[in-house]
Structure 1
Amino acid sequence: MPTSGLVESMEHHQVAVYIGAIAAGGLAGWAAPGAGPVLEHAINPVLAALLYVTFLQVPAAQLLRSLRAGRFLAAALAVNFVVVPLVVAAMFPFFPHDQAVRLGVLLVLLAPCVDYVIVFSGLAGANSRRLLAATPLLLIAQMVLLPLLLWLFLGSELADVVEPGPFLEAFLVLIVIPLALAWLTQGWAARRPAGGKVSDAMGTTMVPLMAATLFTVVASQVPKLHDSMGDVARVVPFYALFLLVMAFAGLAVARLFRLAPRDGRAMVFTGATRNSLVVLPLALALPDRLAIAAVVVVTQTLVEVVGMIVYVRVVPRLLPAD
Structure 2
Amino acid sequence: MLTGLPRPAFTTLLFLTAIVLGSLVGSLAPAVGSELGSVVDPLILLLVGVLFFTLRLDGLSALRRSRLVVALAIGVNFVVIPLIAWPLSALLPSDALRLGVLIYFLAPCTDWFLGFTRMAGGDTTTGAALIPVQMTLQLLLYPVWLFLFAGQSAASSFGSAGPTLLTWFVAPAAIALTLRLVMRLTLSARVRAAVVSGVDRAVPFVIAAVIVGIFAGNIETILSDVGSFAWVLLVVFLFFVVTFFVGEAISKVARLRYREHALLTMTTSARNAPLMLAVTTVALPDQPIVAAAIVLGMLIEFPHLTVITHLLRGRAARVDQPPRPLETV
Q: TM-score range by the shorter chain?
A: 0.7 to 0.9
Q: 1:167 to 1:209 in 2, by over 3 A?
A: farther
Confirm or deny that 1:46 pairs with 2:41. Answer: no
Q: 1:137 to 1:190 in 2, by over 3 A?
A: same
CA contact (8 A) 2:97 2:290 kept: yes
CA contact (8 A) 1:53 1:202 kept: no
Aligned counterpart in structure 1 of residue 255 of structure 2, from 255, 258, 269:
258
Using the TM superposition, name which of 224-233 and 266-275 deviates more: 224-233
Confirm or deny that 1:222 pairs with 2:215. Answer: yes
Confirm or deny that 1:22 pairs with 2:54. Answer: no
Count residues in correspondence. 305
CA contact (8 A) 1:100 1:292 kept: yes
Confirm or deny that 1:63 pairs with 2:60. Answer: yes
- Counterpart of 2:80 in 1: which secondary structure? helix
Matches within 5 A, 1:164-203: 164-166=159-161, 169-170=164-165, 173-174=168-169, 176=170, 180=174, 184-185=178-179, 187-192=181-186, 194=187, 196=189, 199-203=192-196
Q: Output the amino acid matched with 1:282.
A: V
Who is 1:307 aligned against? 304
Who is 1:114 aligned against? 110
1:36 and 1:144 map into 2 onto residues whose CA distance is: 31
**Cα shift readout 1:176-206 (whole Å, capped 9, x = no counterpart):** 55665565455545544x3646623422214
1:258 and 1:170 map into 2 onto residues whose CA distance is: 41
Q: 1:172 to 1:247 in 2, by over 3 A?
A: farther
CA contact (8 A) 2:92 2:228 kept: no
Displacement after TM superposition at 1:114 (Å): 0.9
**Cα shift readout 1:246-287 (whole Å, capped 9, x = no counterpart):** 111122233344332112111111111111111112332325
Matches within 5 A, 1:1-322: 11=4, 14-33=7-26, 34=33, 35-55=35-55, 57-59=56-58, 62-66=59-63, 69-96=66-93, 98-159=94-155, 162-166=157-161, 169-170=164-165, 173-174=168-169, 176=170, 180=174, 184-185=178-179, 187-192=181-186, 194=187, 196=189, 199-223=192-216, 224=219, 225-285=222-282, 286=284, 288=286, 290-317=287-314, 321-322=319-320
Q: Which has the larger radius of gyration?
A: 2
Q: Output the amino acid matched with 2:119.
A: L
CA contact (8 A) 1:280 1:298 kept: yes
Displacement after TM superposition at 1:321 (Å): 3.9
Q: Structure 1-normalised TM-score?
A: 0.81
Q: Output the amino acid matched with 2:150.
A: L
Q: Structure 2-normalised TM-score?
A: 0.80
CA contact (8 A) 1:131 1:266 kept: yes
Q: Output the amino acid matched with 1:129.
A: T
Q: Output the amino acid matched with 1:311.
A: I
Q: 1:102 to 1:118 in 2, by over 3 A?
A: same
- Counterpart of 1:95 in 2: which secondary structure? coil
CA contact (8 A) 1:124 1:265 kept: yes
2:159 and 2:191 map into 1 onto residues whose CA distance is: 36
Who is 1:6 aligned against? none
Q: 1:13 to 1:146 in 2, by over 3 A?
A: closer
Gaps of 5+ in 1: 1-9
Q: Output the amino acid matched with 1:46.
A: L
- Counterpart of 1:30 in 2: which secondary structure? helix
RMSD: 2.9
2:176 and 2:90 map into 1 onto residues whose CA distance is: 42
Percent of aligned pairs with the same amino acid: 25
Who is 2:327 aligned against? none
Gaps of 5+ in 2: 27-32, 321-329
